[in-house]
């Protein structure tokens, strides 16, 4: 199994105020598009190699109250006991299980 902790900014967490593009003139949109494509390619390669992938958003780990610790423990335990190939855990109380054909 592979586990990733993805940051708000670099991995452009959807719907997160910390994942907004800065207004600096730098081509951030292209950079983030490449980061997301690389994330998906790595996850797909790991799944093809028989690895399961757990992705945890920074908000789950750092924002107080984003997700209760007990909820995170339970979501990870269910994933470890199951056969899902990919689990994405985000803040806002959202836990999403996605098969490998779905975008990162």
Whole-angstrom distance, CA of residue 101 vs CA of residue 104: 9
Measured CA to CA, the distance from residue 45 to residue 90 in angstroms comes to 22
Between CA 94 and CA 92 the distance in angstroms is 5
Distance CA 91, CA 103 (A): 18
Per-residue pLDDT at 100 exceeds 50: no
Q: For the segment 27-62, what is each residue's pLDDT rounded down to a tens digit?
A: 888 888 898 899 999 999 999 999 999 988 877 777
Residue 46 DSSP code: H
Taking the CA atoms of 8, 14, 52 and 40 in sequence, report the sign of the dihedral they define: negative
Q: Which residues lie below 8 Å from residue 104, measured CB to CB, with a gap of 6+?
A: 36, 39, 40, 43, 55
Work out the pLDDT band at 102, boundaries 50, 70, 90: very low
**What is the rounded distance in angstroms from the CA atom of residue 30 to the CA atom of residue 26?**
9
Query: Which of residues 47 and 64 earns the better pLDDT score?
Result: 47
Q: pLDDT over 70 for what percent of the chain?
A: 72
Residue 96, pLDDT above cutoff 70 = no
């Amino acid at each position: 199994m592979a586990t990733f902790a993805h940051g708000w900014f670099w991995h452009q967490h959807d719907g997160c105020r910390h994942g907004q593009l800065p207004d600096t003139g730098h081509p951030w949109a292209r950079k983030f598009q490449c980061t997301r494509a690389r994330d998906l390619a790595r996850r797909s390669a790991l799944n093809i190699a028989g690895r399961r992938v757990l992705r945890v958003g920074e908000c789950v780990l750092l924002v107080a109250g984003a997700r209760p610790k007990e909820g995170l423990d339970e979501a990870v335990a269910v994933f470890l006991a199951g056969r899902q190939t990919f689990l994405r855990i985000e803040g806002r109380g959202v836990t999403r299980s996605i098969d490998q054909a779905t975008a990162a």
